[in-house]
Amino acid sequence: MPMRPAMSVMEEADIAPVTPTEAGLAVNLIAPAAIDPGQPTQLTVEVRDTETGDLVGDLVRTHQVWMHMIITRTDLGTFAHIHPEPTGAPGVYTVQATFPTAGEYLVHTEFRRNGQMGDVLDTHTVTVAGRQPDAAPVPTRDVRSWSGHGVRISLHGDATVGATSDLALTFTHVDADGQNTGPVTDLQPYLGAAGHVVVMRADGSAFAHRHAETFDSAGRPVLALPGTRFGPHLDLHVRFDRPGAYRLWAQFELADGTVVTAPFVLHPHLPASPPAAQTSTSTSD
């Protein structure tokens, strides 16, 4: 039987996103001057060529959508994953977003141009006026389990700084008392993947958008095609470049079409130092 490849090696081959500046683009996020907390708000994204100033009309779908937009309050106490749609004008996309409370929000937008292998990742800040809630506390210990909609999702594996961490997700059905009633094997593809996972450092200084995946008995990747089912185990591979607390939001589609978002917290540790080389000394009479 073919051996399953080391996933951390495969992950290193992925193309990291570039900034708009690196891509020769200017991304404008247009929001109303006044935003009411809890009310739908229209956001508009304009993508322009920095050299000509012209709107760019060669964006293509990635994972079934034109753009991924991740909105989090700066304390990471809220999370939304939405998708701007074309307006009919080249390079102009809109979406309805809801900001739950007053405060400052980070808006990360990912998209891809035709012919490119990697994404462009843009970051803007939106301020919602009003009385801000207390900052959401960051758990000092790992949070590796979530339950909802009759399913428990657990996150396993060693989170290490400075290398790609090979993690795993397990899915079980649970009853009203939280008792395990069997494995979940009928997850549906969600946006062209077995699952989408957003990873952010607790201070908002690092962002990554990863995808859960799985392999068949021959070590071949299982593609997220219509009709494919996943579970009870999925792989996840994340690189943590610095120590600190990280929030993860893992999204999956259940058999009935419900999309669930499981929040986790990890505190990756520095790799163990190799033991110091021992030297021997000898004395002679």
Cα 86 from chain centroid?
23
Q: Based on the fold, state whether residues 205 and 262 are members of the same structural domain.
A: yes
91: CATH:
2.60.40.1930
Q: Based on the fold, state whether residues 161 and 187 are members of the same structural domain.
A: yes
83, 102, 128: which is the final residue of a domain?
128
Domain total in the chain: 2
Any domain includes 135? no
∠ Cα 10 11 15 (to 5°): 115
Selection from 157, 150, 191 nearest residue 67 by Cα: 191
Q: Based on the fold, state whether residues 149 and 254 are members of the same structural domain.
A: yes
Q: Based on the fold, state whether residues 118 and 216 are members of the same structural domain.
A: no
Any domain includes 1? no
SS3 103: strand
Phi, psi at 37, each rounded to 5°: -55, 140
Q: Based on the fold, state whether residues 153 and 220 are members of the same structural domain.
A: yes
Q: Based on the fold, state whether residues 124 and 158 are members of the same structural domain.
A: no
Q: Based on the fold, state whether residues 149 and 231 are members of the same structural domain.
A: yes
Decide if 46 contacts 54 (C-beta within 8 A): no
Domain boundaries, position 29: 16-128
pTM above 0.95, yes or no: no
**Which residues lie below 8 Å from residue 158, measured CB to CB, with a gap of 6+?**
165, 166
The pLDDT of residue 277 is 60
Q: How far apart are CA 64 and CA 47, in angstroms?
A: 19
Distance spanning both ends of the chain, measured CA to CA: 61
Any domain includes 228? yes
241: CATH:
2.60.40.10
Burial class (CB in 10 A: 0-12, 13-18, 19+), 175: exposed
Both tokens assigned to 214: 């799985």
Q: How far apart are CA 36 and CA 99, in angstroms?
A: 8
Tokens 């999370």 locate to 79
Both tokens assigned to 232: 């009870």
Q: Based on the fold, state whether residues 99 and 186 are members of the same structural domain.
A: no
128, 157, 183: which is the final residue of a domain?
128
Tens of pLDDT along the chain (285 residues)? 333 444 333 333 468 899 999 999 999 999 999 999 999 999 999 999 999 999 999 999 999 999 999 999 999 999 999 999 999 999 999 999 999 999 999 999 999 999 998 999 999 999 999 999 999 999 999 999 999 999 999 999 999 999 999 999 999 999 999 999 999 999 999 999 999 999 999 999 999 999 999 988 888 899 999 999 999 999 999 999 999 999 999 999 999 999 999 999 999 999 887 666 655 554 444
Any domain includes 9? no
The pLDDT of residue 276 is 60
The pLDDT of residue 66 is 97
